[in-house]
């Protein structure tokens, strides 16, 4: 354990073997396990538990009552050495739970940089979360879920294990899904689970050009509103717009989906 220029409360428990960077703040009654690595300028509030082989990137903030690195809720887990990684400047709010990976799932639960994981959310074993992802309050991920960069998961959402949520996708609050949500789209699963066009607000904020957004919108309409089948729509969209990188990424996601794509509403809510 190293403690250099750090602010550590007298009641905190930093177990032998933990590695601390510089400028670390650790609040009252927080516990840091012996295999944890804490990078520079990390903030751990009071009553936080960080355990297992967990690596916290520079500037990570974890608030009170959060649990990071606990064993996975998986009956096959037998105490193997697995891990959690959280990228720089990610914020983990109150009472969030993040579990370490399993051997069969690759051994690591990973959260990228500049994410916001809001209060009471759960990230299960072996999840892979990209950069700039927002999970609103009580969002819950089953095991092995993948979430692309800049995706937004609304409050009280539940995502089934092994689902894949594409980059810049938006999942409305109180939604559930057992399907893959394509990148750049909006999904609502509060009732029957459907896509509602593109995440236009997210795309504009993300700096995508008007031409690229227009091409993506045309490809979406071909696949979900014009073609008789998704396969036929993907082929037609590929012929017309496949040379555009973001459209190619959209089509590739659909073709490679293992859990299937939700149906689309005929009404696009702009």
H-type alpha helices, the chain: 200-205, 210-221, 230-241, 245-256
Do 155 and 207 reside in the same domain of the chain? Answer: no
Q: Looking at residue 266, what is its pLDDT? A: 78
The verdict on residue 189 lying in a domain is: no
Residue 142 domain flag: yes
Same domain, 40 and 116: yes
Domain-located, residue 31: yes
**Is 150 a domain residue?**
yes
**Order of strands across the sheet that contains 13-14:** 13-14, 31-32, 49-50, 67-70, 97-99, 122-123, 140-141, 158-159, 176-177
CA distance linking residue 155 with residue 173, whole number of Å:
5
Specify the CATH number for the domain of residue 239: 1.20.1180
- The answer to whether the CB of 214 falls within 8 A of the CB of 200 is no
Domain shared by 158 and 46, yes or no: yes
Which DSSP string do the residues of 88-140 spell out, in sequence order? Answer: TT-EE-TT-EEE---GGGTSEEEE-SS-EE-TT-EE-TT-EE-SS-EE-TT-E
216, 195 contact by CB (below 8 A): no
99 is in which domain, residue-wise? 7-162
* Res 192: pLDDT: 87
Tell me whether residue 158 is exposed, middle or buried, using C-beta atoms within 10 angstroms of its C-beta: 0 to 12, 13 to 18, 19 or more. middle
**Domain-embedded: residue 218:** yes
Number of domains in the chain: 2
Residues 116 and 230 in one domain: no
d(CA 54, CA 128): 15
> Within this chain, do residues 138 and 16 fall inside the same structural domain, yes or no?
yes
Q: Which of 162, 195, 220 is the last residue of a domain?
A: 162
Q: How far is CA 82 from CA 55, 58, 79, 112, in A?
A: 11, 21, 8, 17
pLDDT tens digits in sequence order for the chain, 270 residues long: 555 689 999 999 999 999 999 999 999 999 999 999 999 999 999 999 999 999 999 999 999 999 999 999 999 999 999 999 999 999 999 999 999 999 999 999 999 999 999 999 999 999 999 999 999 999 999 999 999 999 999 999 999 999 999 999 999 999 999 999 999 999 999 878 999 999 999 999 999 999 999 999 999 999 999 999 999 999 999 999 999 999 999 999 999 999 999 999 976 555
Q: Are residues 47 and 111 in the same domain?
A: yes
Same domain for 106 and 22 = yes
The candidate with the shortest Cα–Cα distance to 70, out of 58, 82, 59, is 82
Residue 261 lies inside a defined structural domain of this protein: no
> What is the domain-level CATH number for residue 107?
2.160.10.10
pLDDT tens by residue, 2-50 = 556 899 999 999 999 999 999 999 999 999 999 999 999 999 999 999 9
Within this chain, do residues 104 and 233 fall inside the same structural domain, yes or no?
no
Cut 0.75: pTM above it: yes
Task: List the catalytic residues.
Answer: 125-126, 143
Residue 63 lies in a domain: yes
pLDDT score recorded for residue 269 = 53
Q: Rounded to a whole number, what is the distance in angstroms from the first to the last CA of the chain?
A: 53
Beta strands 185-188 and 170-171, pairing class:
parallel
> How far lies 265's CA from each of 40, 116, 198, 200, in Å?
47, 29, 12, 16
Residues 137 and 211 in one domain: no
The answer to whether residue 241 is domain-embedded is yes
């Amino acid at each position: 354990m190293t403690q250099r220029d750090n602010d550590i409360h007298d009641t905190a428990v930093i177990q032998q073997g933990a590695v601390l960077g510089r400028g670390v703040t650790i609040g009252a009654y927080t516990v840091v396990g012996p295999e944890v690595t804490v990078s520079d300028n990390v903030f751990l509030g009071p009553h936080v538990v960080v355990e297992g082989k967990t690596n916290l990137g520079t500037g990570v903030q974890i608030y009170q009552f959060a649990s990071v690195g606990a064993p996975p809720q998986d009956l096959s887990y037998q105490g193997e050495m697995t891990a959690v990684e959280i990228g720089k400047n990610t914020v983990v709010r109150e009472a969030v739970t993040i579990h370490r990976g399993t051997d069969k799932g690759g051994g690591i639960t990973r959260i990228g940089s500049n994410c916001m994981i809001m209060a009471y959310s759960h990230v299960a074993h072996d999840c892979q979360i990209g950069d700039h992802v927002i999970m609103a309050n009580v969002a819950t991920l089953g095991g092995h879920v993948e979430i692309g960069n800049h995706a937004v998961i609304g409050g009280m959402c539940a995502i089934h294990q092994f689902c894949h949520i594409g980059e810049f996708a938006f999942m409305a609050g109180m939604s559930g899904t057992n399907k893959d949500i394509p990148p750049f789209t909006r999904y609502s699963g509060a009732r029957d689970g459907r896509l509602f066009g593109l995440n236009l607000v997210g795309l504009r904020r993300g700096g995508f050009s008007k031409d690229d957004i227009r091409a993506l919108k045309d490809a979406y309409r071909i696949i979900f509103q014009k073609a008789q089948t998704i396969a036929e729509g993907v082929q037609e969209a590929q012929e017309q717009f496949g040379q555009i990188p973001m459209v190619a990424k959209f089509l590739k996601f659909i073709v490679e989906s293992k859990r299937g794509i939700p149906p689309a509403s005929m009404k696009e809510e702009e």
